Amino acid sequence: MKSPFFLILIITLIIASIGILSIYSSTYQKEGKLWQVIYQRQIFWVILGLALFLIMSNFNYRRLWDLTFFLYALALFLLILVFVLGIIRLGAQRWLRLGWFNFQPSELTKLVMVIFLARYFSRQSVDSFSMLVNNSGISRSLILPFIFTAIPMVLIMEQPDLGSAATILFILIAMLYLCGVRLRYIIITLLVGILSLPILWHFLRDYQKERLTVFLNPNIDPLGAGYTIIQAKIAIGSGGLFGKGWLSGTQSQLHFLPESHTDFIFATFAEEWGFLGSVALLLLYYFLIRQGIAISQRTSDHFGKSLALGISVMLGIQIFINIAMNMGLAPVVGLPLPLMSYGGSSILVTFISLGILANIDKTRNVF
């Protein structure tokens, strides 16, 4: 029973359950029918996600190789569709209405980019061990992937969704590194990136600039942009060793903490479960990602290896940015905490990713 499949499944379910408990805790006191059913919806998403996980774990990941360009085109199409039909919420145009479900294409795009880059950097042949990029030039190993990544990234930044865009950028850098692109290329990329920061600054929206400056000093505007950071830090800090107890977190229950069921669910959780609970949660995430890396190491298939790494990195980056943002260690960019935050798109994409991961492991066993 100690198979990676079950480990992934169990850890995932535990984290998702913790997420549902925290969502319930942060919303049950809010007025309005909509708030009361949010945790039920999350349960629905988790069940649906579980189904997708099981489906994907039985869906041979190698078929994704063939689907890569279709998926990439689909993601771009959906991202463009967002600009045409997308609904505006919280000042951003990120969602597509699918019946009663608001779908967030940028979530899907992250996974698609992982698949795309994994395929790009691997060879089709199972026998070929050496990676192509090892010996290839700068345009093949750096410029082309950068352009392919930049297209959806720019679209996502324009929504605007800085968090997802940053995640994709980090995925690119990580994939470049992990797929064996020459280090100097990566360093060049990073240097260019850092040097272009002042230019990029001008392309940011006012609220994004505000968030970044406020991140450096939340007290600039304690009731405005810095409010969320301060309240999140208060929530985490006031939890103490054992926390205030489930349903007893004052910061989230009394709505001092905004977005307490989505982006700032970690603060909600930390307030009620304290230091020990938070560390336990971090360890769960850590083991989950370690499983992904372990699967990658055990897989001989080059595409599977890269894909497993990419999925692990994608989850890891999101978890890190989100938790760091909750603790005031990273700027506030709208980014959900995988498996915990309320939101169908994120939950489903995460479960699919984990399903793919499970399948990579399973397929390896078949070989």
Nearer to other proteins, 201 or 286 (CB): 286
Assess contact for 353 and 8: CB atoms under 8 A: no
Q: Report the amino acid identity of residue 176.
A: L
58, with CB counted inside 10 A (0-12, 13-18, 19+), is exposed
Binding site for other proteins (CB under 8 A): 174, 177-178, 180, 231, 233-241, 250-251, 254-256, 270, 274-275, 278-279, 282-283, 286, 289-290, 293, 296-297, 309, 313, 316, 320, 323-324, 327, 329
Q: What is the rounded distance in angstroms from the CA atom of residue 299 to the CA atom of residue 361?
A: 7
Q: What is the rounded distance in angstroms from the CA atom of residue 146 to the CA atom of residue 135?
A: 18
As measured in angstroms, the least distance from the Cβ of 248 to other proteins is 11
Long-range pairs of 191-197 with CB within 8 A, sequence gap ≥ 24: 193/169
The tokens of 77 are what?
Answer: 């199409």
As measured in angstroms, the least distance from the Cβ of 76 to other proteins is 29
Nearer to other proteins, 41 or 255 (CB): 255
The tokens of 168 are what?
Answer: 């994709």
As measured in angstroms, the least distance from the Cβ of 134 to other proteins is 12
Nearer to other proteins, 204 or 294 (CB): 294
Q: What is the rounded distance in angstroms from the CA atom of residue 25 to the CA atom of residue 20?
A: 8
**φ, ψ dihedrals at 97, nearest 5°:** -85, 120
As measured in angstroms, the least distance from the Cβ of 171 to other proteins is 13
Nearer to other proteins, 140 or 290 (CB): 290
As measured in angstroms, the least distance from the Cβ of 286 to other proteins is 5
Nearer to other proteins, 67 or 329 (CB): 329
As measured in angstroms, the least distance from the Cβ of 240 to other proteins is 6
- Residue 238, SS3 per DSSP: coil
Query: Which residues make Cβ contacts (< 8 Å) with residue 51, sequence separation at least 6?
Result: none
Cα dihedral 254, 259, 260, 261 sign: positive
Nearer to other proteins, 104 or 260 (CB): 260
Nearer to other proteins, 1 or 241 (CB): 241
Q: What is the rounded distance in angstroms from the CA atom of residue 327 to the CA atom of residue 234?
A: 9
Nearer to other proteins, 149 or 299 (CB): 299
As measured in angstroms, the least distance from the Cβ of 250 to other proteins is 5
Nearer to other proteins, 274 or 334 (CB): 274
Query: Which residues make Cβ contacts (< 8 Å) with residue 57, sequence separation at least 6?
Result: 5, 355, 356, 358, 359, 362
Query: Which residues make Cβ contacts (< 8 Å) with residue 316, sequence separation at least 6?
Result: 289
Q: What is the rounded distance in angstroms from the CA atom of residue 192 to the CA atom of residue 190?
A: 5
Assess contact for 108 and 345: CB atoms under 8 A: yes
As measured in angstroms, the least distance from the Cβ of 280 to other proteins is 11
Assess contact for 298 and 114: CB atoms under 8 A: no
As measured in angstroms, the least distance from the Cβ of 151 to other proteins is 26
